[in-house]
Amino acid sequence: MDLRFTDEERAFREEVRTWIDENLPAETRERMASGRTPTKAMQVDWQKRLYAKGWAVPHWPVEWGGQPWTAIKRFILSEEIQSTPAPSPLGFNANMLGPVLIAFGTDEQKKHFLPKIANLDLWFCQGFSEPGAGSDLASLKCAAKKDGDHYIVNGQKTWTTLAQHADWIFLLVRTDTGAAKQQEGISFLLADMTTPGITVRPIITIDGAHEVNEVFFDDVKVPVANLVGTENRGWDCAKFLLSNERTGQARVGASKERIRRLKLIARETPGGARPVMEDPRFRSRLTDVEVQLKALEMTTLRVLADENRALSQRKPNPASSVLKIRGTELQQAISELYVMAAGPYGLAAPDDPEASLRNEPAVAADWQTLAQATYFNWRKQSIYGGSTEIQKNIMAKAFLGL
Amino acid sequence: MDFDLSEDQRLLQDSLGKLLKDKYGFEQRKAYLKSETGWSREVWAAFAELGLLGMPFAEDDGGLGYGPVETMIVAEQMGRALTLEPFISTVVLGGGFLRHGATAEQRGALVPEIAAGNLLLAFAHTEPQSRFDLHDVATSARKDGAGWIIEGRKGVVVHGDTADQLVVTARVSGARRDAEGVEVFLVPANATGVARRGFRTSDGQRAADITFDNVKVGPDAQLKGGLALVGRVVDETIAALSAEAVGCMEAAKDLTVDYLKTRKQFGRAIGSFQSLQHRAAEMMVCLEQARSMAMLAAMMAGERDAAERLRNMRAVKIEIGRNARFVGQQTVQMHGGIAMTMEYAGGHYLKRLTVIENMFGDMDHHLAALSEEGGVFVAA
């Protein structure tokens, strides 16, 4: 057992840090540092730079633009991106669809889509959830009927993140309504968002943001060539996709950056008799979150060391289930600390359009107006990607035999 | 980065696991508890034979030259079995003071005796007023020719009732809570003026309240290092206790999950109820977070930068405490009445975990200090 990074790994971290410093546009850096998500243009520009450097999809096979790296090295890259902070490669492309195509796609699909996905020439969104299929994803109803060389898709997807930016969508559809189990009879399709019959309608979340959407399919023609894997075996792709990149879900690098920034902010924010940071109660809550984050960082490294092994030598590791549950809890806890630090000035909503029309100065600092909005927004984390409750169901079954 | 155990380390884990399976069933443990010493001399001799008691000492001193990872492995196994023997007191605490503070001559004389199982040590530090502050020492040591005279009272000296030698902190200068002026002395437990009153701790182990009344010791009784030595040894001990807690938590979780599968109410195994499944899953989350911290502790135990080591150990102790409390409490809650009884192992895990939580600083103690010192992630 040796839990230290090697000299080579440390040198690589330095290399990454320097490269990001030299290549991340100032505008993007500024926006990310304020705690906002990148604009579409920023995301695309940054991912193209990463791809040119060979760093957009290091976990893919080398022939598709990956790197022959250890899991630790990949972790260092993603941690440095998160802690700058810079935009991470688009998850739908790099972590979800890419690996599915590599595992299940045809040669033509790989050749056509993988380079475009890695370079973000095509922005994909994910069409899984439906109004009646949330945690019980396999009960989905969006239907695809074969008609010659096409499927005709009818139905609705929801919670479709950034569908307003997307060029394409990967979606689960029901191709056989008579299957014995609901997991059977599902297929995995790729569809061009400009296809006639697709309508995107925004959903505004409680923080006022437009992040998620409803996507409607009305007699949408999808070429049969866009079926990934075997017809009616789409659930295999979905399971594979959901089990991928477990360590990414903890987002320890991003949380460490948020804490580092909060400490700086809280030192400069007046809190009555003393700066907020000098309030022993605030400070002790902050430290308590840091302690839990340290434990999560160690757990992440344990899972990584496990992912470094050959597939045949891997055992299911209960530590990996911890990552989603605790990782999201801690991100949420940090968002609460920002709300506490902002105090009364956290009441101001971000991006007041009236004020900006009148060209007035902001009533509160950027981070203060974002504090509550982020706190509201981040309640989503323990819901999406398999809610905390679903994670516990999985643990009870897979690891405890209950 | 490598979290795997070496072949030798796995062998150590297996052989101790076998020994404890053979000699430390819960019924056997009950008999050891009832014996005069409150633990088993026979098991202690078996530990010596396995090499556990000489493990961390240098080979030149008569030890095996093992490191913190081996201590972690051993302590974790002992936690699983809820052992009562003075391993932490003698080998980790007492042994730590000898390794880092004694002369080669002292080590040459004492280490082989410890390794053979003939010599028991205990750390006499806590005082009625000191709570968890290592620098708060009222016990005094004043010069007496070349030697010293020790005066004062130490409480809750774990395994102090059976120890042959006591490692005693005493003040040679300054006021009670000064950071300077604390020194460490090795005092024979049978020295004139040492009075011991043994008692049982809440988890069934043994401890002593000890008074030092005009106790004369020679010049060689003083170990080198003062309060920094105490800090170093206590940090190593926190690492060992954390591993022991992980062993306890894992055994408690296993016992609970087994019970959920076999106990029937409303005509079905209670483990089929989702509220209990989710709580069991949460126990597992807690166990894995604690295990990560015990590994961090093993890695940091040898860290020479005292501030860096302490910062990490504080984080470890807080996180171990938090998770130990959840797992201990839920072990009893999910079992129901049966785990409230002395007859059943479940409640004993809660007891041991609670004792560990309250040794060498509880969660609040370390949280207050750590936040005062700038937190876990200090600016690079």
* Per-residue pLDDT tens over the stretch B88-133: 999 999 999 999 999 999 999 999 999 999 999 999 999 999 999 9
CATH 1.10.540.10 fits B7-119, yes or no: yes
Q: Which of A284, A291, A400 shows the shortest C-beta gap to B284?
A: A400
pLDDT digits (tens, 9 = 90+) for A31-60: 999 889 999 999 999 999 999 999 999 999
Q: Cβ of A290 under 8 Å from any chain B Cβ? A: yes
Q: What residues of chain A lie within 8 A of the CB of B261, using their CB? A: 401-402
For B:216-275, CB contacts with A below 8 A are 257, 260-261, 271-272, 274
Checking if the pLDDT of A9 tops 70, the result is yes
Token pair in block for residue A197: 């019959």
Q: Cβ of A180 under 8 Å from any chain B Cβ? A: no
Give A311's pLDDT tier (boundaries 50, 70, 90): low
Q: Cβ of B289 under 8 Å from any chain A Cβ? A: yes
Q: How far apart are CA B98 and CA A245, in angstroms?
A: 47
Residue A303 pLDDT: 87
DSSP B338: G
Q: What residues of chain A lie within 8 A of the CB of B260, using their CB? A: 402
CA distance B208 to chain A (A): 34
Residue A352 pLDDT: 67
Instruction: Read off the pLDDT of each residue in A275-283 and give the average, rounded to a whole number.
Output: 96
Q: Which of B5, B288, B367 shows the shortest C-beta gap to A1?
A: B5
Residue of B nearest to A395 (CA): B281
Catalytic residue list contains A245:
yes
Q: How far apart are CA B213 and CA B153, in angstroms?
A: 9
Give the long-range contacts of residues A372-376, CB within 8 A, separation 24 or more: A372/A207, A372/A339, A372/A342, A372/A346, A372/A347, A373/A207, A373/A208, A373/A209, A373/A349, A374/A35, A374/A207, A374/A335, A374/A338, A375/A332, A375/A335, A375/A336, A375/A338, A375/A339, A376/A205, A376/A206, A376/A207
Residue A331 pLDDT: 97
Q: Does B375 contact A295 at a Cβ distance shorter than 8 Å?
A: no
Q: Cβ of A295 under 8 Å from any chain B Cβ? A: yes
Q: What residues of chain A lie within 8 A of the CB of B4, using their CB? A: 1, 305
Q: Which of B274, B278, B375 shows the shortest C-beta gap to A290?
A: B375
Residue A385 pLDDT: 86
How many residues are listed for chain B in this entry?
380
Angle of CA points B170, B173, B179, to nearest 5°:
80
CA distance A378 to chain B (A): 21
Of the candidate CATH numbers 3.90.550.10, 1.20.140.10, 3.40.50.300, 3.30.450.20, the domain formed by B227-373 belongs to 1.20.140.10
Residue of B nearest to A2 (CA): B2
Give A304's pLDDT tier (boundaries 50, 70, 90): confident
Q: How far apart are CA B55 and CA A313, in angstroms?
A: 31
Question: Which amino acid is located at B370 in the chain?
Answer: L
Give the 3-state secondary structure of chain A. CECCCCHHHHHHHHHHHHHHHHHCCHHHHHHHHCCCCCCHHHHHHHHHHHHHHCCCCCCCCHHHCCCCCCHHHHHHHHHHHHHCCCCCCCHHHHHHHHHHHHHHCCHHHHHHHHHHHHCCCCCEEEECCECCECCCHHHCCCEEEEECCEEEEEEEECCCCCCCCCCEEEEEEECCCCCCCCCCCEEEEEEECCCCCEEEEEEECCCCCEEEEEEEEEEEEEEHHHEECCCCEHHHHHHHHHHCCHHHHHCHHHHHHHHHHHHHHHHHCEECCEEHHHCHHHHHHHHHHHHHHHHHHHHHHHHHHHHCCCHHHCCCCHHHHHHHHHHHHHHHHHHHHHHHHHHHHHHCCCCCHHHHHCCCCCCCCHHHHHHHHHHHHHHHHHCCCCCHHHHHHHHHHHCCCC
Q: Cβ of A284 under 8 Å from any chain B Cβ? A: yes
Residue B1 pLDDT: 74
pLDDT digits (tens, 9 = 90+) for B207-220: 999 999 999 999 99
pLDDT digits (tens, 9 = 90+) for B339-367: 999 999 999 999 999 999 999 999 999 99
Q: Cβ of B211 under 8 Å from any chain A Cβ? A: no
Q: Which of B6, B260, B377 shows the shortest C-beta gap to A259?
A: B377
Give A118's pLDDT tier (boundaries 50, 70, 90): very high
For chain B, residues classed under CATH 1.20.140.10 are 227-373
Q: How far apart are CA B122 and CA B89, in angstroms?
A: 5
pLDDT digits (tens, 9 = 90+) for A69-95: 998 899 999 999 999 999 999 999 999
Count of CB contacts below 8 A, A vs B?
145
Q: For residues A347 and A372, is the Cβ–Cβ distance under 8 A?
A: yes
Residue A27 pLDDT: 96
For A:321-340, CB contacts with B below 8 A are 321-322, 325-326
Residue ranges of chain B whose pLDDT lies below 50: 380
Checking if the pLDDT of A355 tops 80, the result is no
Residue of A nearest to B315 (CA): A291
Q: Does A284 contact B284 at a Cβ distance shorter than 8 Å?
A: no
Residue A386 pLDDT: 87
Q: Which of A280, A291, A402 shows the shortest C-beta gap to B376?
A: A291
State the helix-helix crossing angle for B41-50 and B7-23, rounded to 10 degrees. 160
Residue A247 pLDDT: 61
Checking if the pLDDT of A246 tops 80, the result is no
For A:261-280, CB contacts with B below 8 A are 263, 280
Q: Does A402 contact B69 at a Cβ distance shorter than 8 Å?
A: no
Checking if the pLDDT of A198 tops 70, the result is yes
ipTM over 0.85: yes
The residues, any chain, with a CB within 8 Å of residue A71's CB and separated by 6 or more, are: A247, A304, A305, A307, A308
CATH class of B122-226: mainly beta
For B:265-284, CB contacts with A below 8 A are 271-272, 274, 276-278, 280-282, 284
Q: How far apart are CA A102 and CA A125, in angstroms?
A: 18
Q: Which of A231, A245, A290, A336 is catalytic?
A: A245
Averaged confidence pLDDT in chain A: 93
Token pair in block for residue A195: 């296809």
Residue B165 pLDDT: 98
Q: Cβ of A260 under 8 Å from any chain B Cβ? A: yes
Residue A353 pLDDT: 65
For chain B, residues classed under CATH 1.10.540.10 are 7-119
Q: What residues of chain A lie within 8 A of the CB of B1, using their CB? A: 2-6, 9, 72, 301, 304-305
Residue B343 pLDDT: 96
Q: How far apart are CA B74 and CA B51, in angstroms?
A: 11
Q: Which of A299, A395, A401 shows the shortest C-beta gap to B289?
A: A299
Is this structure's pTM higher than 0.90? yes
Q: Does A295 contact B274 at a Cβ distance shorter than 8 Å?
A: no
Residue of B nearest to A258 (CA): B377
**Nearest 10 degrees: Cα torsion B110, B116, B118, B121:** 60
Q: Is A386 left (phi over 0), alpha (psi -120 to 50) or beta?
A: left
Instruction: Read off the pLDDT of each residue in A165-180 and give the average, rounded to a whole number.
Output: 97
Q: What residues of chain A lie within 8 A of the CB of B249, using their CB? A: none
Instruction: Read off the pLDDT of each residue in A302-328 and give the average, rounded to a whole number.
Output: 80
Place of tokens 């530590």: A319
Q: State the CB neighbour count (10 A cutoff) for residue A154.
A: 16
Give A373's pLDDT tier (boundaries 50, 70, 90): very high
Residue A312 pLDDT: 64
- A360 by Cβ neighbours in 10 Å (0-12 / 13-18 / 19+) ranks as exposed
% of residues, chain A, pLDDT over 70 = 96
Nearest to A54 by CA among A34, A74, A39: A74
For B:68-107, CB contacts with A below 8 A are 69
Place of tokens 């994909």: A124
Instruction: Read off the pLDDT of each residue in A290-298 and give the average, rounded to a whole number.
Output: 97
Q: Does B377 contact A391 at a Cβ distance shorter than 8 Å?
A: no
